[in-house]
Chains A and B, each alone.
Chain A
Amino acid sequence: MTQGFQVVDHVADVRVKAWGSGLKTIFSEMSRAMWFVMFGEAEIPASHRWPIQVTGIDMEDLLVGFLNEQLALFDIEGLAVSEVEEITFEESRDGQETCLKSVMCGSHVSYLDAKVNLQIKAATFHGLQLTPTEAWVTFDV
């Protein structure tokens, strides 16, 4: 497949490989994988849209930040993601950081409460790998 993800067995945590052509696709696939780990096959209705914005000092920092931002919004607002719309990367004014902007599609978890599978505490930097064609992320669960 040209793009996709795979959840790999790991004794204490969850490790995910995501691949695709280009970083935007990889970020999107990794996000899809994270929500798959949390909700399994359960469908998350795409009834809401909300913007998301994170900054990072490099693309790895940005990937981890992007995933953790989604987890924080899930915890605070109950917002679960079904799809990541267009992702854009912009350099900050001082050129020191990169900004990721995107729009999430999904719904409030109250619709899905009973189907929540596994809580992810955070996306970590542990064993993080990011290339133009694939990424590996370990999630603390």
Chain B
Amino acid sequence: MAKDLKMVPGQECHWIMPREGGMKVDGIVFATEKIIGDLQGTKAIEQVRNVAYLPGILQASLAMPDIHEGYGFPIGGVAATDLNSGVISPGGIGYDINCGVRIMVSNLTRPHVQKYLEQLVNSMFLNIPTGVGKKGSIRLSKRELEEVLIRGAGWAVDKGYGWDADLEHSEERGSMKGSDPGHVSERASKRGSDGLGTLGSGNHFIEVSFVDEIFDDEAAQSFGLFKDQVVFWVHSGSRGLGHQVCTDYLRVMRRAVSKYGISLPDRQLDCAPVMSDEGKQYFAAMASAANYAWANRQVLAHYVRESVRQTFGESPESLGMHMLYDVAHNIGKIEEHLVDGQKQEVLVHRKGATRAFGPGHKDVPRKYRKVGQPVLIPGDMGRASYILKGTEAAMRLSFGSACHGAGRALSRTQARKTISANELREQLSNRGVFVRSATMKGLVEEAPDAYKDVGAVVEATACAGLAEKVARVRPMGVIKG
């Protein structure tokens, strides 16, 4: 058990950890009193403090309401660093680089899809490789892989996996600048050669959901959402390629901390100055892996559309399967923010946090610019997930960031011990949710009861001013790795 750290209440749902010792800034946790109470004495809180030691960190070490223990950074951690005096840390981005989610809307409604639900989920399960070690049907040559690492989702769209308009509705248009495959190791490239279009295992999923409640009519209209509408979620990341990039560069950073004389309380925070050779090379490799992840979700979305075509015998175009948005959860981005009242380019690390830009921001697609960026928050496979919108306040408070999900309540072992597979199937069936999974064990580990209530996280996020509720969706069909 970690020691209790002093947390002082700030404005509503803001908790401040005053700077002390080697901390360069305060820590700030956005949370309700209940969430902050549960966090006291946990490693996660200690990690908020540790991140505040990073050289060149700006304003505060931030944690979103879904904060839980991570590696170096807490999951739900956000840290912006100065480009000149600050550092870049692979631990602040994570192993699954650009793990993220996208939603496609449709003009299908719940009663209609309910009749074909099993057929639809089975079709998706057949079309999408799921589970440990499953390879995709796309085999990339070295040159093709390089193109994916540079062009991201754009490569996939050009190859017929999606529509041009998909790119408009994706963070970074599905392709981050600054990538350079020359800084991705041969080992990482090999791990990426047959991983495109695979879901993976763990918490990755494809979900068919319906819009259960609208909280904000204007934003829902802008996002193309209506009650009882069926929408499709894709949650996956950069697969083995991203894991290897993180592993490779943690080794590089290990050496960099002694070279640059950086002192840190946790070696999983190892880092290098943003503008050092090591920092630039990691950024280029990380951006390459991020682009791979965007291409992966683009291909997976195409498979979902094809499954819908097979099930309903109608084209995805005629069924209005447009992209709502695609957001990254684990990423490092160079963005312009106000620091001490001045516009400044900074490096924002988001580890288990979603970009949540407010109304009027130039990087929010034109269609949504009046209301703010769609912020997609998956919950669990039994209860609910949320669609939020970014706020002006988030730009000031959290470098335009919000929460990313529910967070686990039970360990995988606890879940297996306390939840029976048959009861889970029955429970999901009673809720009208049809599930296919690579393994029953994997399904049990990802059961709704293994997760915290995402509703409480979303309420805390709204209370802190980081995002506002637009709609709640409930699951109908899920495929899990």
Contact with B along A56-85 (1 / 0, CB 8 A): 110011000100100110111010000000
A2 to B376, CA, bound (A): 50
**Do A113 and B247 contact each other (CB < 8 Å), given the known contacts A125-B71, A140-B71?**
no
> B246 contacts the other chain (Cβ, under 8 Å)?
yes
Of B137-145, B248-256, B341-349, B366-374, which stretch is located at the interface? B248-256
> B408 contacts the other chain (Cβ, under 8 Å)?
yes
Other-chain residue from A74, A109, A116, A122 in contact with B95 (beta carbon distance below 8 A) = A122
Are A126 and B266 neighbours in the complex by a CB distance under 8 Å? yes
Interface positions, chain A 102-141, Cβ under 8 Å from B, are 109, 113, 116-119, 121-122, 124-126, 128, 138, 140-141
> A9 contacts the other chain (Cβ, under 8 Å)?
yes
A128 to B255, CA, bound (A): 17
Chain A count of residues within 8 A CB distance of the other chain: 34
Other-chain residue from B244, B251, B410, B414 in contact with A61 (beta carbon distance below 8 A) = B251
> B171 contacts the other chain (Cβ, under 8 Å)?
no
A12 to B94, CA, bound (A): 14
Are A72 and B266 neighbours in the complex by a CB distance under 8 Å? no
Are B68 and A72 neighbours in the complex by a CB distance under 8 Å? no
Other-chain residue from B96, B270, B408, B441 in contact with A121 (beta carbon distance below 8 A) = B96
Contact with A along B429-463 (1 / 0, CB 8 A): 00000000001011001000000000000000000
CB neighbours of B413 from chain A (8 A): 7, 9
Closest Cβ neighbor of A56 among chain B residues: B251
Are B132 and A68 neighbours in the complex by a CB distance under 8 Å? no
Contact with A along B222-255 (1 / 0, CB 8 A): 0000000000000000001001101100110011
> A11 contacts the other chain (Cβ, under 8 Å)?
yes
> B72 contacts the other chain (Cβ, under 8 Å)?
yes
Q: Residue among B68, B75, B247 with the most chain A CB within 10 A?
A: B247
Closest Cβ neighbor of A109 among chain B residues: B133
> B309 contacts the other chain (Cβ, under 8 Å)?
no
> B190 contacts the other chain (Cβ, under 8 Å)?
yes
Chain B count of residues within 8 A CB distance of the other chain: 43
A68 to B266, CA, bound (A): 19
Distance between A135 CB and nearest chain B CB, rounded to angstroms: 15
A12 to B75, CA, bound (A): 10
Distance between A10 CB and nearest chain B CB, rounded to angstroms: 6
Are B95 and A140 neighbours in the complex by a CB distance under 8 Å? yes
Are A126 and B414 neighbours in the complex by a CB distance under 8 Å? no
> B359 contacts the other chain (Cβ, under 8 Å)?
no
Distance between B225 CB and nearest chain A CB, rounded to angstroms: 31
Interface positions, chain B 55-78, Cβ under 8 Å from A, are 68-72, 75
> B202 contacts the other chain (Cβ, under 8 Å)?
yes
Distance between A40 CB and nearest chain B CB, rounded to angstroms: 9
Other-chain residue from B68, B268, B412 in contact with A14 (beta carbon distance below 8 A) = B412
CB neighbours of A7 from chain B (8 A): 413
> B273 contacts the other chain (Cβ, under 8 Å)?
no
Closest Cβ neighbor of A72 among chain B residues: B187
Other-chain residue from B95, B187, B254, B441 in contact with A57 (beta carbon distance below 8 A) = B254
Contact with B along A35-69 (1 / 0, CB 8 A): 00010000000000000000011001100010010
**Do A126 and B411 contact each other (CB < 8 Å), given the known contacts A11-B69, A76-B191?**
no
Other-chain residue from B132, B266, B411, B439 in contact with A11 (beta carbon distance below 8 A) = B411
> B316 contacts the other chain (Cβ, under 8 Å)?
no
Q: Residue among A57, A61, A113, A116 with the most chain B CB within 10 A?
A: A116
Are B267 and A128 neighbours in the complex by a CB distance under 8 Å? yes
**Do A121 and B95 contact each other (CB < 8 Å), given the known contacts A11-B408, A126-B268?**
yes
Other-chain residue from A10, A72, A74, A128 in contact with B411 (beta carbon distance below 8 A) = A10
A10 to B247, CA, bound (A): 21
Contact with A along B177-198 (1 / 0, CB 8 A): 0000000000100110000000
CB neighbours of B360 from chain A (8 A): none
> B200 contacts the other chain (Cβ, under 8 Å)?
yes
A residues contacting B by CB (< 8 A) are 7, 9-12, 14, 38, 56-57, 60-61, 65, 68, 71-72, 74-76, 78, 109, 113, 116-119, 121-122, 124-126, 128, 138, 140-141
The 10 closest A-B pairs by CB, nearest first: A126-B71, A116-B132, A119-B132, A75-B240, A119-B201, A126-B268, A125-B268, A124-B71, A121-B243, A125-B267
Apart from A57-B254, A140-B243, list 17 A-B contacts with CB within 8 A. Answer: A11-B69, A11-B408, A12-B407, A65-B251, A72-B240, A72-B244, A75-B240, A76-B187, A78-B133, A116-B131, A116-B132, A119-B200, A122-B246, A124-B268, A125-B72, A125-B267, A126-B71
B residues contacting A by CB (< 8 A) are 68-72, 75, 95-96, 131-133, 187, 190-191, 200-202, 240, 243-244, 246-247, 250-251, 254-255, 266-268, 270, 407-414, 439, 441-442, 445, 481
